[in-house]
Amino acid sequence: MKILHVDETFHPSYGYQANPLAKFQQAQGNEVFIATVEKKWLYPVFKAFRDDGSGLEEADSRYEAETGVKIYRVRAKGYFMDRLIYTKDIFKIVEEINPDVIFVHCVETLTAMRFLRSRRMRKYPMLFDSHMLSMASHNRYVKIYEWCYKHLITRIIRKKGYTVIRTQDDNYVNTHLGIPKEQTPFISFGTDTMLFHPDNYVKAAFRKEHNIPEDAFVVVYTGKLSPPKNGKLLAAATMKKFPFPFALILVGSPPPTLYGKEVREMFELSENQIV
């Protein structure tokens, strides 16, 4: 089967939706493609990771060689209210690949809306997903956006019976966008087991390198330590010495702000081992 992922947030170095899904589908014997945005207009959140896209070409080539998935980087015009605007090339790529099914990620985007409203795309079976949470919907124009979405987009989703997978156990697409619950199954995203799996050798080597006792209880935190993630809560919870061997592994850094500075200082004052 030919499967095309349309994902403007794709980056081979980060584990967002299309990254693991595409390589697992390719490993199952499918022919898989990813259509994403050109380097110039990379997903803005990557800047928070201090990634300027300088190694993108090499990362793309490595991902393709390791997985067999083909990446297409498509020209864009820029962003409008934090939503990417592709050129018409995105539809040309689809017709060039001629997939058996299109998986359009992030149903809230302008890209997904264009696919839903495009008559030339309706000849292809399409599937959508949503990674949005109700608590994250704070744009000052959100009421206008949601009204327009319900009247222009949701009616198409309802009429055509498209499935919108909820990757979070949150009813945002139902309560905010008006998409019927029976069309929005919740499927937990899961774990990329090609990348994350037990390895006793690596475990022992890591503990030895960082002088972590064999009997220590180890907690690993990966991700941002910003205000929305409540980095201070984790720092405060691990400041006082635990009555047993303990180590906290932090994969990621506090933001370069006053809040981030305070979080870093709290971890530095911890009576526990922080790596």
What is the tens place of the pLDDT at every residue in 232-243? 999 999 999 999
Q: Which of 164, 167, 156, 170 is nearest to 131 (CA)?
A: 167
- Report the alpha-carbon distance of residue 33 to residue 2 in Å, rounded: 8
Is 90 exceeded by the pLDDT of residue 115? yes
pTM beyond cutoff 0.85: no
- Report the alpha-carbon distance of residue 24 to residue 124 in Å, rounded: 22
Q: Is 244 helix (H, G, I), strand (E, B) or coil?
A: coil
| Residue 138 binned pLDDT confidence (cut-offs 50, 70, 90) | low
| Residue 44 binned pLDDT confidence (cut-offs 50, 70, 90) | confident
Is 90 exceeded by the pLDDT of residue 254? no
